[in-house]
Amino acid sequence: MNTNDAKEYLARREIPQLFESLLNGLMCSKPEDPVEYLESCLQKVKELGGCDKVKWDTFVSQEKKTLPPLNGGQSRRSFLRNVMPENSNFPYRRYDRLPPIHQFSIESDTDLSETAELIEEYEVFDPTRPRPKIILVIGGPGSGKGTQSLKIAERYGFQYISVGELLRKKIHSTSSNRKWSLIAKIITTGELAPQETTITEIKQKLMQIPDEEGIVIDGFPRDVAQALSFEDQICTPDLVVFLACANQRLKERLLKRAEQQGRPDDNVKATQRRLMNFKQNAAPLVKYFQEKGLIMTFDADRDEDEVFYDISMAVDNKLFPNKEAAAGSSDLDPSMILDTGEIIDTGSDYEDQVIKI
Ligand SMILES: Nc1ncnc2c1ncn2[C@@H]1O[C@H](COP(=O)(O)OP(=O)(O)O)[C@@H](O)[C@H]1O
C-alpha cells in the first residue's frame, strides 16, 4: 500500500473525524484511565453503526456540551475556548481551536496545510467594514443550485462562488500535486471533498473578494459539520436557500447534464453516491438552519423562472426589508412568495428526495 492509498483509506473511513471526536471526549472527560475510556468510546462507535455516525461531540457529556447549535447560542469557537486550559503554554491555545487533525489527514504533508493555518489567524472579512451579506444555496445535485445562485448574484449585484467549481479549478491548476490528485479521485467517485480543504478554499476565495455588498455561495454546506465549521471560521450566513426537488427529477436532470457537459463526476455510480450523500445529510442540515431561522425552502421541481421569482421575493424581504424592491422586481407579485422557514410541501415527492433515494 502506498501513501496515497493509506491516506485515501483514512479519508474514506472517516478516521480523522473519529480521532477528533475521541480527543474531544478525552479533553472534556479527563478520565483516570484513558485506555479504558477509549475502549468504551470505541464500543459506542460500534453501537452507533460506524465511524460515519460519530460527530465531533459524540463523547462530550451533556453537561459539558456548551455548544447549543440548534438554539442559536454559543459558537463552536467559544465551546473550544471553554474546554481549553487557561494556561497560555497550552500548545493549541494560539488558534483557540482543536489540535489540527492534519497529522491523520490528507492535509498533512502538503503545501496547503501551512497556508491553511496562516489563514486561520486572520479574519476573513475586514472588521472595520460592513460584512457582505452571505447567501448559501443548498440542494441536491441537479436541483438547480448553480442556475439559481447565478441569478441571485446577477439580480443583487453579489459575487458568485461555486464550491464545486472552485474545487474543480484547483484540481486542474494543481494536477501534479498529490493531495489534489487524491481529491480529484474522491470527487470523481461522488464523495465530498475533505472539509478543512473545502473551507480553506472558500476562505481564500472570500479573502480575495474586495468590498462586495453580498456573496452567493453555491453548494455549501453539504452537512451540519460544514455548517458549524463555516460559522466557526467565517460567519453566520444571512440566508440559506434550500432548493427542494423530487428525487426522480434530480436523476433526470443529472442524466441530461451528463450528456451536455461530460463532467467526470456525472457518471452513474458517482451520481448515485452523490444522491445518497445528499439523502443522508440534507434533513439534519435543513433542520439545523431551520432552528436558527435562517433557511427558506423552495419547490425546485418547477420552471427555473418560477423558482427564481419566489427566491427573489424572499431575498427582498429578508435582506432588504427597508428598501424599495430591487431593480427589475416591479413585476413580482408578493402574494406568490412561499412560506419561509419551513420545509414546503412541494406537491410532489420532496420527502422522497431526502428519504428514499
Ligand atoms: N461543500 C462541499 N464540500 C465538499 N465537497 C464539495 C462541496 N461542494 C462541492 N463539492 C465536491 O464537488 C462536487 C461537484 O459539486 P457541484 O459542482 O456543486 O455539483 P452538484 O452539487 O450538482 O453535485 C461534489 O460532488 C463534491 O465532490
* Gap between the Cα atoms of 218 and 13, Å rounded: 27
ipTM over 0.90: no
Question: What would the pLDDT profile of 264-285 be if each residue is shown by its tens digit?
Answer: 787 888 888 999 999 999 999 9
Could you give the residue ranges of the DSSP H alpha helices within the chain?
3-12, 15-29, 34-48, 76-83, 112-120, 145-156, 163-173, 178-188, 195-208, 224-233, 247-261, 268-291, 304-319, 350-355
**Å from CA of 139 to ligand 1 middle:** 11
| pTM of full prediction above 0.80 | no
Confidence bin at 63 (pLDDT 50/70/90): low
- Superfamily per CATH, domain 134-320: P-loop containing nucleotide triphosphate hydrolases (3.40.50.300)
Render pLDDT for 71-110 as a digit per residue (tens, 0 to 9).
343 444 444 444 444 444 333 333 334 444 444 445 444 4
Report, in this order, helix, strand and coil percent for the chain, each rounded to 5: 55, 10, 35
Output the residue whose Cα is nearest ligand 1's atom 9: 164
- pLDDT confidence of residue 336: 37
DSSP state for residue 127 in the 8-state scheme: T
Q: Spell out the domain ranges in the chain.
A: 3-53, 134-320
| Of 126, 334, 333, 342, the residue nearest 244 (C-alpha) | 342
Residue 260 near residue 105, CB atoms below 8 Å: no
Pairing assessment for the beta strands 295-299 and 133-139 based on DSSP bridges: unpaired
Cα(258) to centroid of ligand 1, in Å? 15
Cα(286) to ligand 1 centroid in Å equals 17
pLDDT in tens, 139-171: 999 999 999 999 999 999 999 999 999 999 999
Q: Within 10 A of 30 (CB to CB), how many other CB atoms are there? A: 9
Q: Which CATH architecture has domain 3-53?
A: Up-down Bundle (1.20)
Q: Count of alpha carbons within 13 Å of 124, Cβ hemisphere only? A: 22
Give the Å distance between the CA of 341 and the centre of ligand 1. Answer: 24
Q: Pick the atom of ligand 1 nearest to 162's CA.
A: 18
Q: Tell me, what amino acid is at 163?
A: V
Cis peptide upstream of residue 210 (ω within 30 degrees of 0): no
Task: Read off the pLDDT of residues 6-36 as tens digits, 9 standing for 90 and up.
Answer: 777 887 788 888 998 898 889 888 899 999 9
**pLDDT tens digits, one per residue of 208-257:** 887 889 999 999 999 999 999 999 999 999 999 999 999 888 988 888 88
Burial class (CB in 10 A: 0-12, 13-18, 19+), 177: middle
CA–CA separation, 25 and 39 (whole Å) = 12
